[in-house]
A and B are shown apart, each in its own frame.
Chain A
Amino acid sequence: MARKRTKAGPAGAPVTTVVVMRLYIAGTAPNSVKAIANLHAICGRYLKDGYKLEIIDVCEHPRRALADGVLVTPSLAKVSPAPTSNVIGNLSDTGSVLAALGLPAGAIE
């Protein structure tokens, strides 16, 4: 699976910050597939266009993963804004993902 890149929305949008994330997955492993789906759902619902997601398949880019200190897949890394955070697992628990991404409590409906 190649890199997927979802660009941020148009300029002038009310989103003040763009959340930059990386999702490390392992090919078509069940939890990796689930994680992609779960993350897309979360982003579509809570971040709208104010995010930047890079999906890295460690099977294809193991050195990159190693350099980034990733071992367990799926693994989500929030790169910016600070503070950075990491979530492992298939991201099925939306609440903990949102908390890790530092989204304001009001964002959760």
Chain B
Amino acid sequence: MTAKKSANPRLLSKVATGIHGFDEISRGGLPLNRTSLVVGGPGTGKTVFALQTLVNAARQGRQPGIFVAFEEGTRAIFANAATFGWNLPALAKSALFFLDARLSPTVVQSGEFELSGMLAILEAKKRELGAAWIVFDGIDVLLALLQNPVAEIREIHCLRDWLAHADLTAIITAKMEGDTASPANYGFMQFMADCVIRLERRLEQGIALRRLEITKYRGSDFSPGEFPLSFGPQGIEVAAPGSAVTSQRASLERVSSGFGGLDSMLGGGVFRGTTTLITGAPGTSKTTLVGKFAESACRRGERTLFVSFDEGGERIRRNLTSVGIHLDGYAKSGLLRMYSGRTDAINPEEHLIRIAALLLEHQPRCMVIDPLSALAKSGAISSARAVGNRLIYQVRDHHITAFITSLVEGDDPQAEATQMQISTIADTWIHLSYLVRGGERNRALTIVKSRGTRHSNQVRELVLSAAGPALTEVYSSGGEVLMGTLRWEKEAEERARSLERQADFTQKRRELRFAEADIAARIAALQVDLDRARGELARYSSDDDAQRASSSERKSEALKMRGSDGAAAAVPSKRRGARVSAKSRKHNGDQAPRRGS
């Protein structure tokens, strides 16, 4: 084995592991034809990580691989992997070769040994199989047998030289417990690997948390920091954050909340793909509200996911039936999927990963989480918060319309801000509270915020009945909000008052009608007078014309008389003219304008 290729630096290309989340944080997977080192304590998932990568390569990439096990026997590996549905025995017949490289406990050691023989064997197997991948699982076990740090480094060198020319993408796993007992050769192993992945398992308030960190990636960018890791149904899943830039579609489509009353308060419902947070003390009907939303989503034929914590799906459906919300049929038809998680059993990270898997599997359009605050019950609040945030971002990335409940103690909705801190990222925030007054406890609903929507500022009362929940207006009088019986009394009072008012109105209307008729009659009488006066006036105006004509006649008569001609004809006109002249003289001043009328 000579270094004939080392002078030729190859461009780094990557090969996907198919491990959910890991390919994202490593920006594409492991370095192709190079060596990656996976270190971590016992039970951190080193073997699963390596095996899963191999299985994915064999299944998806049709690339054969070799698995060299120094720690566990082939049968034990098959048994451990049986939970993941990889069907290893079938793969072992075709694409994967498992080499049980454990040394029998009866083997006697006498002096130093070397790995070159094993590498020669693997080289032959690689050619035979056409393998593209190789895993050395638990190399620390083998190296420990060398009992000599110098020999260890020598053999690691030998391994590295072989790998450098083998054209294999290699994963080497090694036990490393905590930060204290790191093997002497660890630093050197790190040096030989192009990518180093550290796995860790630690307890946080009694809950086991697994973490994955890429500590080194030669020639490549990667997401720094620790990422939660958990075992899902298909193996390891790494909770990688979504892309740093949020690019969510902003839909203008309104989705009904399930209540006509609430929809109208929200200006027609919530926007498609938004997140609605419902906060409230225990028993404020948070579940009823989200149940109604789930029911209406199913009724529209939309796939729905109902995530509940610490309460089984069947119990939730039964309880909701009592308030007229029927989900059983949808659950049976498969339109509604229910996931019920116990928060004391597994940590928030694992719930998140399981929910994420369900999102991909069920492809829901609407989703309910009830209550998200339950995540904070196990483990540390900071991790619960991080999980809650990531969950909401994931739901949004899928453009799912979600209703999420969160339990807050006390009446102040702002308490949420100090607990799960979901309210800051929720698009709509509805708070449910109790109002105790007049010996009653009534539920009140307030919209604290609703982005992009002109929403009602009014407090409404949530009334539960067998027919289903409903929202009713509340009475606010003198700065007080009235609910329940007080509201009922107020309503009755209001009704009586309204009847009274109506009677008043009728009376007043009648009076006014009389007055109107009276005035109309008077107007009619006056009109008659007016007509009469006009008629008379018209008559007098025509007399005036006649009189004027006769007066000119008279003048000419007088002239005649003075001139003593036509005296006989003037007699009758003179008699008539005399009578008119008395009147005409009286109107002398305004004779001219009157003629025109």
CB < 8 Å neighbour of A88 from B110, B116, B120, B124: B110
Compute how far the CA of A36 lies from the CA of B14 in the bound complex, rounded to whole angstroms.
44
Which residues in A have some Cβ–Cβ distance to B below 8 Å? 24-27, 29-32, 34-35, 38, 58-59, 62-63, 65-66, 70-75, 85-93, 96-97, 99-100
Q: Does chain A have a CB within 8 A of B101?
A: yes
Q: Please, could you name 16 A-B residue pairs with CB atoms under 8 Å apart, sorted by A?
A: A26-B117, A29-B114, A29-B116, A58-B117, A59-B116, A65-B117, A66-B99, A66-B121, A70-B121, A71-B101, A72-B117, A73-B117, A73-B118, A86-B106, A90-B112, A90-B113
Residues B120 and A26 in contact, CB atoms below 8 Å apart: yes
The count of residues in chain B whose C-beta lies closer than 8 Å to any C-beta of chain A is: 24
Residues B111 and A89 in contact, CB atoms below 8 Å apart: yes
Q: Contacts A26-B116, A58-B120, A62-B120: A34 and B111 contacting too (C-beta < 8 A)?
A: yes
Q: Does chain A have a CB within 8 A of B356?
A: no
Residues A100 and B114 in contact, CB atoms below 8 Å apart: no
Residues A71 and B111 in contact, CB atoms below 8 Å apart: no
Chain B residues with Cβ below 8 Å from A70 are 117, 121
CB < 8 Å neighbour of A62 from B101, B104, B123: B123
Q: Closest Cβ of chain A: how far from B361's Cβ, in Å?
A: 42
Compute how far the CA of A28 lies from the CA of B81 in the bound complex, rounded to whole angstroms.
39
Chain A residues with Cβ below 8 Å from B124 are 62-63, 66
Q: Closest Cβ of chain B: how far from A99's Cβ, in Å?
A: 7
- As a 0/1 sequence over residues 76 to 107 of chain B, the CB contacts with chain A under 8 angstroms (1 = contact) are 00000000000000000000000101011011
Residues A86 and B107 in contact, CB atoms below 8 Å apart: yes
Q: Does chain A have a CB within 8 A of B2?
A: no
Which residues in B have some Cβ–Cβ distance to A below 8 Å? 99, 101, 103-104, 106-118, 120-121, 123-125, 142, 145
Is chain B's binding surface mostly helix, strand, loop or mixed?
mixed
5 pairs of A and B residues whose beta carbons are closest in the complex: A73-B117, A26-B117, A62-B124, A92-B111, A89-B111
Compute how far the CA of A1 lies from the CA of B141 in the bound complex, rounded to whole angstroms.
30
Q: In the complex, which residue of chain B has the Cβ closest to the Cβ of A86?
A: B107
Q: Contacts A62-B125, A66-B125: A85 and B117 contacting too (C-beta < 8 A)?
A: no
Most buried by A among B99, B112, B142: B112
Residues A32 and B125 in contact, CB atoms below 8 Å apart: no
Chain B residues with Cβ below 8 Å from A31 are 111-114
Residues B110 and A96 in contact, CB atoms below 8 Å apart: yes
Most buried by A among B99, B107, B111: B111
Most buried by B among A32, A66, A85: A66
Compute how far the CA of A65 lies from the CA of B108 in the bound complex, rounded to whole angstroms.
18
CB < 8 Å neighbour of A85 from B108, B111, B114, B120: B108
Compute how far the CA of A26 lies from the CA of B329 in the bound complex, rounded to whole angstroms.
70
Compute how far the CA of A96 lies from the CA of B337 in the bound complex, rounded to whole angstroms.
65
Q: Closest Cβ of chain A: how far from B126's Cβ, in Å?
A: 10
Chain B residues with Cβ below 8 Å from A35 are 111
Q: Closest Cβ of chain B: how far from A72's Cβ, in Å?
A: 5
